[in-house]
Amino acid sequence: MSKKKLQTPDLSYLNLSENIAVKYQLSPMELVDEALLNKEGILASSGALAVDTGKFTGRSPKDRFIVCDQITADAVWWGDINIKFSPEKFDLLFTKITSYLADKKIYVRDASACANPDYAIAIRVITETAYQNLFANNLFIRPEIDTLGAQPEWTVIAAPGFLADPLLDGTRQENFSIINFTRKMIIIGGTGYTGEIKKGIFSVLNFILPMYENTLSMHCSANVGKNGDTAIFFGLSGTGKTTLSADPERGLIGDDEHGWGKTSVFNFEGGCYAKCVDLTQEKEPQIYNAIKFGALLENVNFFPGTTDVDYANTEKTENTRVAYPIEYIDNAIVPSIASVPKNIFFLTADAFGVLPPIAKLTVEQAMFHFMSGYTAKVAGTETGITEPQLTFSACFGKAFLPLHPSKYAQLLGEKMKENKVNVWLVNTGWTGGAYGVGKRMKLSYTRAMITAALNGGLDHHHYKQHHVFKLMIPLHCPNVPDEILDPSKTWDNEEEYFIKAYELADAFAENFKQFEAPKVLKTHEEELKLC
């Protein structure tokens, strides 16, 4: 590794001083040493670097903005998810954050996103802390040495110690994450939570790939079988997405972010950012074994007097995380690219207990359920509160969608038809009654249904249509009792079942009205004035 190739890149386009102390493209070992020297964290007994991210232990969606300009004014789905920010305010804040970094030691990393080179974008991540740079090393794709140093397409600047002045800077609070598509920059301040870096680039790809490449960007996990058959798993938190896609018999393409191009499915990332709450070697051996030197643990607690992580301890947050390179998973596919999918699974944990455990969707139904992004979360532990809470997140990732959900659903429908893909709705939630009465679907049954869908065990004509949801339910599935497949037959009172089923169907219809509301058209000039 020659020093010439690893010379500090030209940072003049960021107005950073030539005399600034730059730590460029450090190895994981060097970054861990820096983090320990800076007192950013400690080494856990597993060898992983453990840090606390400070005040923020998760993303702050209300403080995430997109600059409204010629590129975005008419294209972005503006609202409570995508909040407008003026170009002038961005420029002022950019000057402030770079001035803040001017007399500090900074960490600079060149990386890329998208495992398929036809869609790849070069990224430079500039961080105030070493642990954030280790995160960038683990989560983005690590480039060849010969490609380093060139000016990147996108730049991310993350400075947890820089606080905005909401009155002067136009932010809501002192923390912020702002995407500028014209300047191709993301600036993040006031928060040490590394997920803002990851999801910032994800939001960028969710804009440019569907808009300019006719490529579907997806918040999903993906794996591939020994015969080259790709499967995609969509699902919100608690639906079993990570568990069900982690199959020792299939190679892991990725756990969170993917693109579906003309001829392939490809991972956007070069690593995984897994939840750690209640993690055990028995339940999640792949994730557990990936927590070793080079991995980054966030906001975990230790058993008293030790550096052994207590994964059941959520005193700091339930959103404890670990970031590691995808190579830390034994059956990972590298480079993370495979053929177009043969099967897609929409995972939902239905606490009403009324959705079938597996159903096959038509193209139109798939687009509807994709835009709905339904699951149900069980209410908190307060006395007497047992009713499930409905959750709808468009395209199973509403928080990261700069475009209207119909754009992504349209692309899904087109690709389904073109590639004759099977789409399955899988209920990993309750059966035999709603939460509090029924029981959670056995994981062994869910695994058997997914296995059957993957290996052709459900390629028969023995289906019936659900009376309420109009979904096609298989009458038989290998290794699953027939009576489990029809949810109405698992309830003691069939009339109560249908009352609850219609209640959920009405909630679907009500939620979908947001996509059907007529849009008040404005001229391009009027849109820009609103910015």
Q: Which residue out of 203, 242, 243, 348 is catalytically annotated?
A: 242
What is the β-pairing status of strands 463-465 and 472-474?
antiparallel
**Longest distance between any two alpha carbons in the chain, whole Å:** 75
Does 59 qualify as catalytic in the annotation?
A: yes
What is the β-pairing status of strands 221-224 and 251-254?
antiparallel
Measured between alpha carbons, how far apart are the two ends of the chain, in Å? 48
154, 185 Cβ separation under 8 angstroms: yes
Show the CA angle centred on residue 227, arms to residues 117 and 214, nearest 5°. Answer: 35
DSSP state of 519: P
Task: Tell the residue number behind the tokens 């990224």, with chain if given.
Answer: 123
Q: Which residue out of 64, 124, 258, 321 is catalytically annotated?
A: 321
Count, in order, helices (H) and strands (E) of the chain.
13, 29
Q: Which residue out of 59, 250, 404, 500 is catalytically annotated?
A: 59
- Range list of H helices, 148-255: 166-169, 195-212, 241-245
Does 237 qualify as catalytic in the annotation?
A: yes
Q: Which residue out of 96, 199, 342, 360 is catalytically annotated?
A: 199
Does 369 qualify as catalytic in the annotation?
A: no
Torsion, CA 376, CA 406, CA 519, CA 398, rounded to 10: 40
Does 124 qualify as catalytic in the annotation?
A: no
The CB density around residue 404, as the number of other CB atoms within 10 Å, is: 18
Q: Which residue out of 241, 258, 360, 407 is catalytically annotated?
A: 241
Does 467 qualify as catalytic in the annotation?
A: no
Q: Show the tokens assigned to 471.
A: 């979904």
Task: Tell the residue number behind the tokens 């709705």, with chain if given.
Answer: 425
Q: Which residue out of 64, 124, 198, 219 is catalytically annotated?
A: 219
Q: Which residue out of 8, 86, 237, 307 is catalytically annotated?
A: 237
46, 131 Cβ separation under 8 angstroms: no
What is the β-pairing status of strands 121-127 and 105-113?
antiparallel
226, 249 Cβ separation under 8 angstroms: yes
Does 219 qualify as catalytic in the annotation?
A: yes
Residues designated as active site: 59, 199, 219, 237, 241-242, 256, 321
